[in-house]
């Protein structure tokens, strides 16, 4: 059987982070990174930028934070909403971002 993509080695870092099978289009991925370099985004906003499911965005953010690419802080609470303010994320200065 011929595979279009290389298969990760057993024990690969991405597999450890739960990213096996996570699909985001290259254009959406690059666009989201550009936005995250200049703005703080919530998971819901990242989901829109990536054009992916909520769970995919959560896995991507966790992996990026584990690699030191993203940092988080408490965002502003939207008016008229109950509960806690959302966490927001941005690319660290070490990776060329605003955080």
Query: Could you list the pLDDT tens digit for every one of the 99 residues in the chain?
Result: 444 444 444 544 544 445 555 567 778 778 888 889 999 999 999 998 888 889 888 988 999 999 999 999 999 887 887 888 899 999 999 988 887
Would you tell me how many other CB atoms lie within 10 Å of the CB of residue 61? 20
Look at residue 1 in the predicted model and tell me its pLDDT.
43
- For CA atoms 18, 52, 60, 58, give the dihedral sign: negative
Q: What's the full length of the chain, in residues?
A: 99
CATH class name, domain 22-95: mainly alpha
DSSP 8-state secondary structure symbol assigned to residue 23: -
Look at residue 68 in the predicted model and tell me its pLDDT.
92
- Between helix 43-50 and helix 26-38 the angle, nearest 10°, is 140
Domain boundaries, the chain: 22-95
Look at residue 20 in the predicted model and tell me its pLDDT.
56
Paired residues of 70 in beta bridges = 91
Calpha distance 89→70 (Å, rounded): 6
DSSP 8-state secondary structure symbol assigned to residue 47: H
């Amino acid at each position: 059987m011929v595979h279009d993509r290389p298969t990760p080695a057993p024990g690969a870092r991405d597999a450890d982070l739960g990213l096996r099978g996570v699909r985001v289009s290259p254009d959406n991925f690059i666009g989201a990174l550009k936005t995250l370099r200049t703005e703080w985004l919530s998971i819901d906003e990242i989901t829109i930028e990536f054009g992916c499911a909520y769970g995919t965005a959560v896995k991507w953010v966790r992996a990026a934070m584990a690699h030191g690419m993203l940092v988080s802080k408490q965002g502003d609470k939207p008016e008229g909403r109950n509960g806690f303010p959302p966490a927001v994320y941005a690319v660290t200065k070490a990776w060329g971002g605003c955080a």
